[in-house]
Amino acid sequence: MSIYQHFARHYQNSQYSAFTRRVLNEIFPHWLEVLDFKPQSLLDMACGAGEFAIAQAKAGLQVVGLDQSQTLLRMAQSAAAEESVKLRWVQGDMSQFSLAEHFDCVTCWFDSLNYLLKIEDLANCFKAAYAHLHPGGYFLFDMNTIYGIVVQWQKHPYFIQQETPDYLEVCANSCDYENSVAQMRIIMFERQGKTWARHEEVHTERGYAVDDILLLLENAGFQVKHVLGNPLLMRPLETEDSRLWVAARKPEATM
Ligand SMILES: C[S@@+](CC[C@H](N)C(=O)[O-])C[C@H]1O[C@@H](n2cnc3c(N)ncnc32)[C@H](O)[C@@H]1O
């Protein structure tokens, strides 16, 4: 079953976008300041409905947004058109894509890398990010940690994520502890007049060991500059952090 289809519009019109806004308004500007980095071009991998990518294009960057979900990309396209912002959208798999351009910055936010369930796919995604960066460019991303997926998520086996008079969203979490793979069943009830329609999507995310993530980044060619538990405080990652934040740099070209 494909994901971000029926769920796409409920994802975009909800408190999920609070995370994206935090990245947009606080975390990304903070990274730019700390790294003394002024990118002119940006590739947002797993761009979703495009909020982050559109904001960067509005700020004057040349932007490409890449995502596998056609439904989310269509929403991104119409949001950009509404705001008369020009940027390019590409439907593709972030673990295997090739664009005929390079960027100063590559980003990937909000668990998106955890959707890659095979370590080879994560490795290929890091290689693709590296291949699409200019020398000296940065790859900035966050990921759920294993602790986040197998402990924090599992503290809430069932919960109501959204509730309005016309929509009810119930999430059910389960976990394959051996492989650090968690599933979130998103069960959506939409009011249709006097009846309710029910839809379901299952989202699967895998947590990776920090050492594996760092090794894959180094194997791809990156210099890992920061691995943080709280980027705004520049606090290093701790054992009980649910999310890690990484800034990795493609080295300057050597003569
Ligand atoms: C939690 S959403 C995050 C979206 C966006 N980055 C944001 O901050 O709102 C996860 C995104 O990852 C995308 N995604 C998952 N696997 C992908 C893959 N292999 N290639 C490209 N996009 C993928 C989904 O379509 C979805 O847009």
CA of 116 to the centre of ligand 1 (A): 10
In DSSP terms, 190 is beta-bridged to 167, 197
Domain boundaries, the chain: 7-144+208-249, 148-206
The segments of the chain whose pLDDT lies below 70 read 1, 254-255
Task: State residue 1's pLDDT score.
Answer: 57
- Amino acid present at 50: G
Distance CA 14, CA 161 (A): 9
Task: State residue 21's pLDDT score.
Answer: 93
The listed CATH number (3.40.1800.10, 3.40.50.2020, 3.40.50.150, 3.40.50.2000) that belongs to domain 7-144+208-249? 3.40.50.150
Using the structure block, give the residue that is written with the tokens 């069960």: 187
pLDDT digits (tens, 9 = 90+) for 33-65: 999 999 999 999 999 999 999 999 999 999 999
Task: State residue 5's pLDDT score.
Answer: 80
Task: State residue 15's pLDDT score.
Answer: 76
Task: State residue 76's pLDDT score.
Answer: 96
Task: State residue 154's pLDDT score.
Answer: 93
Does residue 69 have its Cβ closer than 6 Å to ligand 1? Answer: yes
Ligand 1, atom 19, residue with closest C-alpha: 93
Do 7-144+208-249 and 148-206 share a fold? no
Give this prediction's pTM: 0.95
Task: State residue 16's pLDDT score.
Answer: 81
The listed CATH number (2.20.25.110, 3.30.565.10, 1.20.1250.20, 3.40.50.720) that belongs to domain 148-206? 2.20.25.110
